[in-house]
Amino acid sequence: EAGVTQSPTHLIKTRGQQATLRCSPISGHTSVYWYQQALGLGLQFLLWYDEGEERNRGNFPPRFSGRQFPNYSSELNVNALELEDSALYLCASRIGLGHYEQYFGPGTRLTVT
Amino acid sequence: GENVEQHPSTLSVQEGDSAVIKCTYSDSASNYFPWYKQELGKRPQLIIDIRSNVGEKKDQRIAVTLNKTAKHFSLHITETQPEDSAVYFCAASGSNYQLIWGAGTKLIIKP
pLDDT at B101: 97
Q: Do B97 and A106 touch (CB under 8 A)?
A: no
Nearest CB partner across the interface for B104, out of A42, A100, A102: A42
Closest chain A C-alpha to B47 CA, distance in angstroms: 11
Q: Is the pLDDT of residue A27 over 80?
A: yes
Torsion sign (Cα): A12, A83, B89, B109: positive
Choose among B32, B44, B103: nearest Cβ to A104.
B44
Calculate the CA dihedral of residues B25, B29, B32, B37 and round it to 10 degrees. -20
Q: Which residue of A has its CA nearest to B93?
A: A100
Q: B2 pLDDT exceeds 90?
A: no
Average model confidence (pLDDT) for chain B? 95
d(CA B80, CA B13): 8
